[in-house]
Amino acid sequence: MSDRKRFGKGGKIAILVAVLTLAGVGGTFAAAGPLQPSPITSESASPLRSEPGTAFPVIKPAAATAVPAAGAKEVNPAAPVKLTVTDGTLDNVSLRSAAGQDVEGALSAARTEWTSNGQLAFNSTYTLSYTTVDAAGRTASSTSTFTTVSTKNEADAAMYPLDGMRVGVAQPIQLTFSEPVKNKKAVEKAISITSTSGQPGAFHWFSDTMVRFRPETFWAANSTVTVKMDLFGVDLGGGQIGNFSKTNTVHIGDKRTAVADAKAHTFKAYVNDKEVHAWPATLGDTRFPSARGYLVLMEKQRRAHFVAASIGLKPGDPANYGELDVEYATRLTPSGEFIHQATETAMPYLGQVNLSHGCIGLGPEGAAWVFDNMTTGDVVQVINTDGEHANFDDGFGDWNIPWAQYGNG
């Protein structure tokens, strides 16, 4: 019998066991240990380096947040644009308008935040472009686009007196806004008004579009008033945003005042509180009494044309004077009160009777002196008249508002 035959089935099993034992499948043969992964020289060489379950820690990609957000509209152009990154740093940041104008900005020392420091324009589209770099060195480039406040929500303001103008001691500072102001306190906070005399003052709102500022007493003679308006980006309310910042100066001249006495029929002029002239005068009659209180000079007309119909007089009315021209007219109120040379028919009554329609009539010398020597912002105080105060917004009636009430308006 051959050896092959002698083994039979049992022999085959013995051989298989021996083979398996040698292979480490069974028995006591020492195992070679688990297989090791092939070495990777760097994490960046692994395409799966940021996925859980690989041989390396998970590294988050950099994430950037822009303010304003992408697609934002009606963005306040005064608000800084900010870009912040987490899990990385920023590179190649730029902010550019659709017109191609670049806006300056600065990166933080850690390169994790960029903030614009240049002014944006109204009604413009801006694109914020940037690159992020994460801890693994991966880069990603992105853009974010937004638009600023549109023209319909852009608010302007005009100041009077004009920049550099020389005015009298009673001239209030007036700002007239192109749009209604709802956030009045925010606007007041954005406006700083100082004088070389150190006089404090207060604001008074005559309407939602007009505010004035004055000190408690007249401005000091020959002082300078500085008006700093930081209104760019200020929220006026109702979606309206201030569109400018600037500083104006106003020069105050000598103190020129006058007192018109309706009972004594006189007009006395003062320069720096010293009486320099006194003239006979006529003021408003009983039907048209002159307004009382302080009336601030507004403008001058060498010759003015008066029309009786403008104050409601009609043909047949005994007070109707039709139309007439007067000399040396200095306006006191928009409603029609002036200092002017009395008409020929009124001249004989100067210093004796009040017969005007509310104006202050003087002789040629007095009217010419006021015209030539007094100016915008100088003031006339009318006393002993039966007239009421002119409406506070009929000219500059600010001085007829008690100081305790002025700042509360």
Mean pLDDT for 192-219 is: 98
**9, 10, 14, 163, 221 from 4: Cα distances, Å:** 10, 11, 13, 124, 136
Q: What is the pLDDT of residue 316?
A: 77
Q: What is the pLDDT of residue 28?
A: 42
The string of pLDDT tens digits covering residues 221-261 is 999 999 999 999 999 999 999 999 999 999 999 999 999 99
The string of pLDDT tens digits covering residues 23-71 is 444 444 444 445 455 444 444 444 444 555 555 668 999 999 999 999 9
**Rg (Cα) of the chain, in Å, rounded?**
43
Tokens of 326: 């007067």
Domain ranges of the chain: 63-149, 153-252, 256-396
The string of pLDDT tens digits covering residues 104-126 is 999 999 999 999 998 999 999 99
Topology agreement, domain 63-149 and domain 256-396: no
Task: Between 226 and 305, name the one with better pLDDT.
Answer: 226
Closest CA to 249 of 133, 159, 177: 159
Listed in sequence order, the residues at least 6 apart from 382 whose beta carbon sits closer than 8 Å to its beta carbon are 260, 262, 283, 290, 291, 292, 293, 295, 360
Mean pLDDT for 207-226 is: 98
Q: Name the 3-class secondary structure at 348.
A: helix
Q: What is the DSSP secondary structure assignment for residue 364, as one 8-state letter?
A: H
Q: What is the pLDDT of residue 54?
A: 53
Q: What is the pLDDT of residue 201?
A: 97
Name the class of domain 153-252.
mainly beta
Task: Report the alpha-carbon angle 159-382-162, nearest 5.
Answer: 15
Q: How far apart are CA 20 and CA 132, in angstroms?
A: 57
Closest CA to 369 of 339, 399, 334, 344: 339
Q: How far apart are CA 367 and CA 369, in angstroms?
A: 6
Task: Between 127 and 15, name the one with better pLDDT.
Answer: 127
The string of pLDDT tens digits covering residues 148-175 is 999 999 999 999 999 999 999 999 999 9
Mean pLDDT for 141-153 is: 97
Q: Determine what percent of the chain falls in helix, strand and coil, rounding each to the nearest 5.
A: 15, 40, 45
- Is residue 375 scored above 80 in pLDDT? yes
Does an H or E element contain 279, and which? strand 274-282
- Is residue 193 scored above 50 in pLDDT? yes
Q: What is the pLDDT of residue 50?
A: 52
The pTM of the whole model exceeds 0.85: no
Q: How far apart are CA 130 and CA 64, in angstroms?
A: 9
The string of pLDDT tens digits covering residues 334-349 is 999 999 999 999 999 9
Q: Name the 3-class secondary structure at 155.
A: strand
Q: What is the pLDDT of residue 408?
A: 83
Name the class of domain 63-149.
mainly beta
Q: Evaluate whether 258 touches 369 at the Cβ level (below 8 Å).
A: no
Q: What is the pLDDT of residue 44?
A: 46
Q: What is the pLDDT of residue 52?
A: 56
Mean pLDDT for 390-409 is: 92
Confidence of residue 313 (pLDDT cuts 50, 70, 90): confident
- The percent of residues in the chain predicted with pLDDT above 90, rounded, is 78
Q: What is the pLDDT of residue 167?
A: 98
Mean pLDDT for 296-324 is: 83
Strand locations in 148-273, DSSP E? 154-155, 157-160, 166-167, 173-177, 191-195, 201-207, 210-215, 224-230, 235-237, 240-242, 245-252, 256-261, 266-271
Please give the backbone phi and psi of residue 25, each rounded to the nearest 5 degrees, phi first: -75, -35
Mean pLDDT for 265-284 is: 98
**73, 76, 79, 149 from 120: Cα distances, Å:** 14, 9, 9, 10
Closest CA to 284 of 362, 144, 385, 384: 385
CATH no. for 256-396: 2.40.440.10
Does an H or E element contain 113, and which? strand 113-116
Place of tokens 């806006």: 103
**238, 292, 357, 371 from 311: Cα distances, Å:** 38, 18, 9, 24
What is the average pLDDT score of the chain?
89
Mean pLDDT for 209-222 is: 98
- Is residue 20 scored above 80 in pLDDT? no
